[in-house]
Structure formats: C-alpha cells, structure tokens
C-alpha cells in the first residue's frame, strides 16, 4: 500500500463525516441518517459509485437545504470528498464506504429522497451484466430505499450502458422522465450546475458526449426478500 493511501486511511478513521467498517455507527445508520447523523429533517440524497465525491460535494454546496451521502467502496477516493467537505464546513455532506450490493444494510425502507449514479463502471462484457448498477437486481435494491416518486439520475459517457439502462427501467415498469445522449447540448445542462466528476472532466476533454437519464421506479408496497450479509473482498479495500 502506498504512503498516501496509508495516510488517508489513518485520517479517515477519525474523520466524522466518513462512515466505514470499524466505526461504531457503520451498521447503525439505516433509517437514522437524519435523526442520528445530520440532526435535521432535510431530504436525503445518495450518490452511488461517488468516487472522489465531486458530485456529493458540489450538490451539498449548492443545496444546503438537503443532506447528501456519497457511497463508494474505495476508501482512498471518498477521503478526497470528505476532506473537501470538512474544509468547506459542509455539515450536510457525508461519505459511506460500503458495497452497493449491501444498500439495504445502510439505508432504511423508503428513507432516501433522491439517487444519483455518476459514471459507474459500464461493465461492457456480457458476462458482467449482473454487476452493472442498473441491472435488475440493483434497481430492485433501489426500490427498497427510495420514497414514492423519488427521482433517480444516471450520468455516463457509455452509450451502451445508457441504452441498457433504459431497457432495464422499462422492463421493470419504470418511467423515463428525461433522456439525452448529449447533455451539454441539451435543455437539461443548466440543471447540473457545472458540477463534473473526475471521469466526466476526463471524458468531455476528449470529446465524449455525456448521456443523462432521469427516471422513476415503481413503488414497492412492502420489503421483499432478506438483507444480505456485509463483507469485503481484499481487492476492494484499497
């Protein structure tokens, strides 16, 4: 492990806006984010696959009347967003280190008001379909934690992932609200406030067009199935 990563991991252990394995509140937040962490009743917005947290940080700064949680498995990455939030005195922004497969262990039934999925790994190989964050089993996870009529956003440079997602949402009975294959030449660009992730900046500089999708999923009347156990593989700990 590099010296920089070791330093970040050590600091993360004492940073109050990072929730991760080993901290007392790691598995205690589901259903209690507003009451026990943010200490208010503001809408809760979650960013999945947040990377360095540019979106959670940017949205948190733009919308102080909402609470934001960026979620990613890479501790060295979320450290960057968490540090930025502390330096900017943003008490409405936090970061969670965990696997999205375990979403129901971290967020309670219908606790989340809005979801963002920002530049996830497109998993282009057919055999990796089940790992795409818009595969049907992930969409069903989201249904457990989002409130009725909640909005879900997806941004990606990958057209194939966008087409796949539209089909997945439609197959599940979801509603497509906005779809564009060139966000910054569309009427929806202003909604994004100029906030870009590390990967988005990288892709746009190379001339890639950014796909954007806003959608809703059907509401579940009651929880389905059981909540899976929490575990990390060694390669996911960096």
Residues designated as active site? 121
What is the rounded CA–CA span in Å between residue 176 and residue 216?
7
Closest alpha carbon to 158 in 201, 204, 211: 211
Task: Please calculate the CA angle 159-163-165 and round it to the nearest 5 degrees.
Answer: 115
CA distances from 167 to 47, 173, 184 (A): 22, 10, 23
**CA separation for the pair 101, 152 (Å, rounded):** 17
């Amino acid at each position: 492990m590099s010296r920089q990563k070791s330093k970040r991991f050590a600091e993360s252990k004492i940073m109050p806006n990072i929730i991760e394995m080993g901290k007392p509140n790691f598995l205690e937040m589901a259903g209690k984010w507003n009451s026990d962490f943010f200490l208010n009743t503001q809408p809760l917005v979650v960013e999945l696959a947040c990377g360095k947290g540019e979106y959670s940080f940017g949205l948190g700064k733009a919308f102080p009347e909402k609470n934001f949680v960026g979620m990613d498995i890479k501790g060295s990455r979320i450290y960057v967003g968490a540090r930025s939030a502390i330096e900017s005195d943003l008490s409405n922004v936090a970061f969670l280190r965990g696997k999205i497969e375990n979403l129901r262990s971290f967020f309670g039934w219908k606790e989340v008001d809005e979801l963002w999925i920002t530049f996830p790994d497109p998993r282009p190989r057919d055999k990796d379909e089940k790992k795409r964050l818009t595969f049907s089993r992930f969409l069903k996870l989201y249904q457990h934690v989002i409130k009725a009529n909640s909005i879900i956003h997806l941004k990606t440079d990958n057209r194939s992932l966008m087409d796949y997602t539209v089909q997945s949402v439609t197959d599940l009975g979801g509603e497509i609200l906005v779809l564009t294959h060139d966000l910054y030449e569309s009427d929806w660009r202003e909604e994004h406030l100029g906030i870009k992730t590390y990967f988005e900046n990288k892709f746009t500089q190379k001339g890639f067009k950014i796909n954007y999708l806003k959608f809703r999923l059907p509401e579940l009347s009651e929880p389905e199935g059981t909540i899976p156990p929490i575990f990390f593989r060694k390669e996911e700990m960096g």
